[in-house]
Amino acid sequence: MLAAMTKSGNVNFFAMLPDELTQFVGGWGWPSYRAGQIYQWVYQKLVANPREMLNLSKLDRQTLDDRISFAIGTVTQHQSSSDGTQKILVMWEEDGAMAESVIIPDGPRRTACISSQVGCPVGCKFCASGVGGVKQSLSADRIVQQIFLLNKILAAKNEHITNVVFMGMGEPLANYASVMQAVRILHDPKCFNIGARKITISTVGVPTKMRELANENLPLNLAISLHAPSESLRKQLIPWAEHFALEDILEAARYYFEQTGREITLEYILLQDVNDKPEHARQLAAVCKTLRANVNLIRYNEVNGLPFIRPRAEAVMRFQMILRENGVNAHVRKSRGRDIDAACGQLRRNEKLAQITIAKSIET
């Protein structure tokens, strides 16, 4: 069992798969159907307080409350964009950790962009998530709680999360065990019942873990945050690139496709006059010809204090045209939530800066 333990020694419910909970409460002499009742309350009715699970006896509710933790993080900030995007900042009072989650509406789909770590170890030069490095990896229950909290928000309109992308704060493959436990909970029919093909793992590229993911027997989508078509430029933009050669990452991507049949998505953030020139597009097209991949082009969302600029629209269109002329399936991702700083890490960074400012004012 991978369930996280709280400081009081209780098992955390949100890290448990149904079979694990059935086994756990079976040790108390409870019938197996009792676990099913609990899962209905939490994942269908969005009730995470045992005392409100009214088809359990008063004694059983007390036992459940005493022995299993249903604690969830607190939404300390909730922002809504004019385009329907919503962003929350979740804090866990136990240790003060904070992570961001986003709801992206698109027709009938409600996609959750969730975090796997507090901060990020990758340190992309253009990203707010990695400013200050990584503070900790999120446990499986804290990853799952983000979806629970987003569903609570959507419930007001009788909606729920339909798709999940691990594209928030952190490098998911650097927190592999917790991420995979969370994925299984998201996918399980008794939990969120989200199809594996509707879950995307986004990585900067960790070849050994990409191969491990390929052998999980889950047809998850794999996205690689490439952002540069050459080894030299990639190392300038992504410090972690020093650890993993681009060719090793591409070879692991080819293996992933062979094992799963799922085409790889290459994520490419366009930075004005850095990686958005025609020669970069031609280099990227050459990379794409070595594997089954499509390309998501993303116009940079500016981050205060970082020196990068959002590219001009004509440069983006020219970049896409060159890729398509070379037979690459390339799309420009629609910018969402620009009026609420929806890019990864910005809300947490702003909160941290505010806390520092308050602390300094108290000192003086």
> Would you name the residues annotated as active-site residues?
100, 344
Q: Residue 58: is it exposed, middle or buried by C-beta count within 10 angstroms (0-12/13-18/19+)?
A: exposed
Number of residues written out for the chain: 364
215: which 2 tokens? 């052998």
Residue in this structure with the two tokens 């609570």, named with its chain if needed: 152
CA distance 30 to 324: 60
**CA-CA-CA-CA torsion for 354, 358, 363, 364, nearest 10 degrees?**
100
Q: Do the Cβ atoms of 343 and 167 come closer than 8 Å?
A: no
Pairing of strands 221-225, 199-203: parallel
Of 258, 182, 248, 259, the residue nearest 216 (C-alpha): 259
Please check whether residue 281 is in contact with residue 223, taking contact to mean a CB–CB distance below 8 angstroms.
no
Per DSSP, helices labelled H in 8-92 are 18-26, 33-39, 58-67
Q: For residue 234, what are the CA distances in angstroms to 222, 244, 281, 328?
A: 19, 11, 14, 20
* DSSP H or E stretch at residue 139: none
Q: Please tell me what DSSP assigns to residue 105.
A: E
Q: Which of 93, 86, 79, 134 is nearest to 112 (CA)?
A: 86
- Of 18, 10, 138, 143, nearest to 69 (Cα)? 10
> 145 near 185, Cβ under 8 Å?
no
Distance CA 105, CA 107 (A): 6
